Amino acid sequence: MCNNNSHVSPDPTKFFPNVKGNLTKIVWAHAVNSLAELERALSSEDIMMLEADVVMGKLNTTNQTDIPIMAHPPAVESDLSLENFLEINIHSNNTKGIKLDFKSNSAFESSKPILTKLRANLTFPVILNADILSGPVNATITPLNAKDFLKGANETMPESILSVGWTTRYGKEFNITEGRYSLKQIQTMIEALKENQVTQPVTYPVRAGLVANDVDVIKTLLKNTTFTNATLTIWSSEGDSVDAEKLSKLIRDVGVDKVYVDVPEALKSKLQLSAASAMSAAMINLAASMALLVLSRML
């Protein structure tokens, strides 16, 4: 294990050189919230990033007080604690990154000492995720405290990528199939990051069915995040209503070097992203041709 903090949470594009800068090629495992799921994900040759949820709860092997465990609300019991999750990854995983999705203020606050203790050994990409603002469609879930999360993440793991998003009310659970992120919602996010002097790399997790409905707003979000490197993480729940054609266009317009795609396989298979790759290659070839032309004129 490496104790040189320069190796803590390396950039995913450098850690996964085979994707050649195309973030859409990074393959995710979802809800890695048990020992069995963790073992399955670590043994998979395809999986590159492990997404897991952190709540306060009890290990089902003990009667101890609440600690940070890997589980998705409303579950408050697991056979895997956050500390065990990290230690297993440290000892068994030299090829995969992790994304920790904190589901409450208390879960994050109680996780900070654990992250601090193990930080020097987290020599793979680490993304710290939380919904810190209320979002579409009139979302009712209470977000985490934006200031506490942004400040705490910076103090605890300044090398990590911050994944900061909006709570949402959408999909089968609510029988809602239409909606979008508003200009006010993205402006509020940018202001929150500026106020808290965020300089860490940021990825904005945006729900596929909502983000496809207003490409311009999302472009504005990225364009106005001038204070750090910013990407999108497009996610979706099973059964969400998503316009795959519009979503494909958004990804192509923004660029595959700026978009992680963490969606169910049924949706991912419908996305048409080859044009984005072809466009990137064409731009590279054009730039090379222009450079040769300039050089020939100088000689």
What are the residues whose beta carbons fall under 8 Å from the beta carbon of 254, sequence distance 6 or more?
218, 219, 222, 232
User: What are the C-alpha distances in Å from 19 to residues 12, 224, 248, 282?
Assistant: 9, 27, 18, 18
| pLDDT tens digits for range 174-218 | 878 888 999 999 999 999 999 999 999 999 999 999 999 888 999
* pTM, entire model: 0.89
Tell me whether the omega of the peptide bond preceding residue 254 falls within 30 degrees of 0, making it cis.
Answer: no
| pLDDT tens digits for range 184-196 | 999 999 999 999 9
- Outline where 196-264 has alpha helix (H): 208-211, 215-223, 244-254
Going from N- to C-terminal start, the domains of the chain cover 5-272
Dist. CA 19–CA 278, nearest whole Å: 15
| pLDDT tens digits for range 48-86 | 999 999 999 999 877 678 999 999 999 999 999 999 999
- Outline where 133-243 has alpha helix (H): 146-156, 183-195, 208-211, 215-223
Residues counted in the chain: 299
Give the model's confidence band at 124: pLDDT under 50 very low, under 70 low, under 90 confident, else very high.
very high
Task: Return the percentage of the chain with pLDDT > 70, whole number.
Answer: 89
Q: pLDDT at position 142, please?
A: 93
Task: Return phi, psi of residue 174, to 5°.
Answer: -110, 0
Most confident range, picked from 163-167, 224-228, 237-241, 284-288: 163-167
- The CATH fold assigned to 5-272 is TIM Barrel (3.20.20)
3-class secondary-structure state, position 134: strand
